[in-house]
Structure 1
Amino acid sequence: MTGTHVPSRRPRLEFAFLDGLRGLAALFVAVHHTYLFTGTTQDHEALPAVFEPLRYGQYAVTVFIVLSGFVLGLPLAPDRPALTRGWATFLKRRARRILPPYYAALAFFLLLIALVPQLRQVSGTAWDSKVPVTETGVVSHLLMLHNLGGDWKWQIDGPMWSVATEWQLYLVMPLVLLPVWRRFGAVAMVLLAVAAGWGIHVLFPRFDGAHFWFVADFAFGLVAARHVARARAVPRAGLLAVVAVVVVAVLFLLVPGHGLRDLWFTEVVVGAAVALVLLALAQQSVAGTRTPVHAVLQWRPLVWIGFWSYSLYLLHSPLLGLGNLLTLDRPWGVGTRFAVMLLVVLPLALAVSYGFHRLVERRFTTAHQARLRQGAPAAAVDVSETRSSLPS
């Protein structure tokens, strides 16, 4: 025995509501695309006003980005905001988690488009933005750069643009955000993130399709997680979260359609509100307080969907597009068409997505997911193994 000291690993925090929120956001995105893929582009716009909130499903991506920052911020080194195993290991683990399912889904849909004639035709539906598939579009998807080009962004599988954006945020986190945070503090890091995202929007609007202002939402999640992990309670966090949610709701209600414009601003405001909600819920969980919001987000079916939400996110959109195209010649009214899409096509898309999870994604799941599938208690789970949230 040499007497060498082996430091014990510090306890990792784990919150069940995060997977529930991830599952809920993924379902909202899927229903949003069900709405968009109903009939022709004119048909879905003619749906009753009661379905108008479905137009805002894109904000679920904002939730995913904040969740990513929050989840990846929990296991940072306790004494300073730094990756405990270095940036190379961090990127390697992130790549192993999100890239194999991404490339498998990409190959699957390229094959499907080649085999199904309806998927190669212009039909006046939301699918028209996905084709034709070009050589540069395929290469840009392989390089995770398709979010930078207007023509590439929507090809093949629309939601994949945000996977590219999140991958780019993984590069920014260890190489820019954390060094600035260590040197100048959390406030400087957040201000830099906001300024960088909005600066790119002002100077290079052609890149707006990448939503680079998401770097601010990612930073919000990092800071919120840091407060929780270091037990630095924010006074009246619950009240602040409620006020933030009310402000967002009022903004959307008083300015109809504003949430579909000026995304460079609204998605940052929504991201700040989501970060405050996560902070409040996490602080309440640590204190042993269970609110009605916890009860909803920790509902087992939602948590279960959260486990395979990455597969759901990757696969649902083209499957919905295909289902719509195969039924487009039916003489249905817009209400009936939406009901068929929602009650028949969407469940089939979810079933295929779950099958993809079982066949492909599960081979690249983290220790976090594996242990939870085996029924390990949440307190024993190492958050450093937790997947990021888009919703990978």
Structure 2
Amino acid sequence: MTFEFADGLRAIAAIGVVLFHTYTYTGLSEQNQLLPVVFKILNLGDFAVAIFIVLSGFVLMLPVATSPDLYLRGGIGEYLKRRARRILPPYYAAVGGYLVLILLVPGLNEETGTAWDSKVPVTIGGVVSHALLIHNLSPEWGYQIDGPTWSVATEWQIYFAMPLLLLPLWRRFGGRAAVLTAILLGWAVHFLFPQVDLAHFWFVGLFALGMAASWHVRRGSVRVRGGFVVAALLVTLVPAAAAFGLMHRLAWLSETAVGAAVALLLVWMAQRSASDEKTWAHSLLEWNPLVKVGNWSYSLYLVHSPIIGIANLILLPWPMPLVARFALLACVAMPIAAAISYGFHRLIERRFMTSHQRSIRSTISSQGLI
């Protein structure tokens, strides 16, 4: 059984991170803080990457959870080849394209007093670290060129933890020990080596929570109640929006809490799908247009940020109220970024999609939605 709601949730997370970056790019640096207080809800988009990581662990564990010995299909080598083929070609295409654009277009490789400053100037260290997918280890390199790609490096590193750490622990000591070890290990890196906090190594615990959700769906016997899921989401997301500054400073804790709530949501939705008791949440997350966006959300994630940042630079000389500036970015720059992202998906990403994603795409196509 495939769970289309996972693609819908991925789409919502991708849209959330695009809105968050539109908010952070508005005007000069930190000027977005002058927007009306209702805009603070857009800070929830900062937690989108945590959702992506939980979803990644959930999806990758689904076939493993049905294996008697919890082994990866084809072994570690084939698993890593599949992961490399899926995420690396689009990543290199996006980073390479934006690198050329920044270096060739006058003014783009200079600081401007906006959020664009975290992307430039491009350095040799930044280029080399992006090529090696280690730019997430340094604040100097992490946001250069295409800011959101720091998380691609983190996810790539977590892929190695699954067969080399998490699954061996799972086989020997059980899922609870594996998840607890992953969470504590990630937190330990934060406290012992805060200089690499940009990498969010506590995400290994979120990935393990996604794996646990998948294992519970395939093998668990306890049924998760919807009320408990709603409570978990409210307890984690409301403080994340209301006290974003504090939650951001305690990201190791707040993102782990959000990850746990999302893992519960996945279990609940999967259990209801398996028993053919679908809810309004299924109707929303399995809505075909959302599933479609989820199918190319990786391209949207890779491509959107520099486009919105450049659009803000273009608008900067025009005097206008801050709300109007945000509205222009949201209503003009965001759709342009989405259209270019979809073109990037059609041209590059879809060539490297998994068989599951191709099957979803074929279903959507047969229904006349693409």
Shorter-chain TM-score category? over 0.9
Separation in 2, partners of 1:333, 1:257: 25
Q: Once the two structures are aligned, what percentage of the paired residues are identical?
A: 53
| Deviation for aligned residue 1:367 | 1.5
Q: Distance in 1 between matches of 2:227 and 2:164?
A: 34
Where structure 2 has 5 or more consecutive residues not aligned to the other structure, the ranges are: 366-370
Partner amino acid for 1:130? K
CA distance in 2, matches of 1:329, 1:250: 36
| Residues in 2 aligned to 1:288 and 1:56: alpha-carbon distance in whole angstroms | 31
Name 2:263's counterpart in structure 1. Answer: 275
Seen in structure 2, the aligned counterparts of structure 1 residues 252 and 97 have a Cα distance that, compared at 3 Å, is closer
Structure number with the bigger relative contact order (C-alpha 8 A, sep ≥ 6) is 1
The 5 A counterparts of 1:374-385 are 374-375=362-363
- 5 Å-filtered alignment, 1:1-392, equals 13-76=1-64, 77-230=66-219, 232-249=220-237, 251-252=239-240, 255=243, 257-375=245-363
Shift of 1:236: 3.6
Post-superposition offset of 1:332? 1.1
Task: State whether residues 224 and 267 of structure 2, in contact with CA within 8 Å, keep that contact through their aligned partners in structure 1.
Answer: no
Task: Sort the Cα spacing of 1:249 and 1:55 in 2 relative to 1 into closer, same or farther, 3 A.
Answer: closer
**1:114, 1:208 → 2: CA distance?**
28
Q: Is the 8 A contact 2:240 2:254 kept in 1?
A: no
Q: SS of the residue aligned with 2:327?
A: helix
- Scaled by the length of structure 2, the TM-score of the pair is 0.95
Counterpart of 2:351, as a letter, is R
Write the deviation string for residues 243-266 of structure 1: whole angstroms up to 9, x where unpaired.
211321454477563222210111
1:80 deviates by 2.9
Note the C-alpha offset of 1:376. 8.2
Q: Is the 8 A contact 2:119 2:143 kept in 1?
A: yes
Helix, strand or coil at the partner of 1:75: helix
Amino acid across the alignment from 1:334: L
| Runs of 4+, deviation exceeding 3 Å | 249-257
Cα root mean square deviation, aligned: 1.7
Structure 1 unmatched ranges of 5 or more = 1-12, 378-392
Normalised by the length of structure 1, the TM-score is 0.90
Q: Structure 1 residues 256, 44: closer, same or farther in 2, change over 3 A? A: closer
- Matched residue pairs, number? 365
Aligned counterparts of 1:294 and 1:260: Cα–Cα separation in 2: 30
The amino acid that maps onto 1:289 is E
- Partners of 2:240 and 2:364 in 1: CA distance: 41
- Contact persistence 1:65–1:214 (CA under 8 A): yes
Moved more, 240-249 or 199-208: 240-249
